[in-house]
Amino acid sequence: MFYREESFEEISEAVVLVDYSLGYKLGDFDCGIEDYNEFLVHDAPIYIEQNICQVKLLIDKQNADVIAYMALNADSLRLDPVEKAKEGLDIPFNSVPALKIGKLACSCRHKDKPYGSFMLWLSLGYAEHLNQIGVGCRFIVVDADVEYNPSTPEFYLKNGFVFNEKMNETRKNPKSLSMRLDIFKD
């Protein structure tokens, strides 16, 4: 399902996913987008403290570098009847529970492996865990940032995401495009 998934076993041996902590070398992280670098250092602790999101860090086991991070929060996805039918959802409401990846960034120094796809794969585990503990979650959603990189949606498409067509129709001059991954599709 995920782009270059055959690399994930090798990646998982070299990294560890941890909760956000100021004890890591956050200031050394550089994904090439200053807004995302600043979020990690300045905004993330505030959002975590206020329970707006939780931030997960992908750490290199050898040197403790921050390879990537993702900010996760609860969300819901509004689907119109056509999109519900495409997803095989026969439900009387349009809002469906989701896990949102609010931010996802990978270090420029670590472009040799598909760490972004690996992070998406890890987010699938969080979505599945929500269901296991009794909290319904059907989708992983993301607002693919096209302001800084117009090709961002291509990354998500390669990883099985689709566009939330109805939501994107109403956006004028979008800085992001809404996308979803059905966690129950292979």
Tell me which residue of 72, 73, 33 sits closest to 56, measured CA to CA: 72
Residue 142, pLDDT above cutoff 70 = yes
Q: Could you give the residue ranges of the DSSP H alpha helices within 64-110? A: 81-86
Q: Which amino acid is at 5?
A: E
What is the Cα–Cα distance from 127 to 142, expressed in whole angstroms?
Answer: 13
Q: What pLDDT does 186 receive?
A: 59
Residue 170, pLDDT above cutoff 90 = no
Number of independent structural domains in the chain = 1
Task: Give the angle 6-11-12 at the CA atoms, nearest 5°.
Answer: 105
Domain that residue 137 falls in: 5-182
Q: What pLDDT does 92 receive?
A: 93
Burial class (CB in 10 A: 0-12, 13-18, 19+), 168: middle
Q: What is the CATH number of the domain that holds 88?
A: 3.40.630.30
Mean pLDDT of 107-119: 95
Mean pLDDT of 98-114: 95
Contacts of 108 (CB under 8 A, 6+ apart): 30, 31, 32
Residue 14, pLDDT above cutoff 70 = yes
What is the Cα–Cα distance from 48 to 52, expressed in whole angstroms?
Answer: 6
pLDDT tens, position by position, 173-186: 789 999 999 998 75
Give the SS3 label for residue 179: strand
pLDDT tens, position by position, 53-91: 999 999 999 999 999 999 999 999 999 898 999 899 999
What is the Cα–Cα distance from 173 to 75, expressed in whole angstroms?
Answer: 23
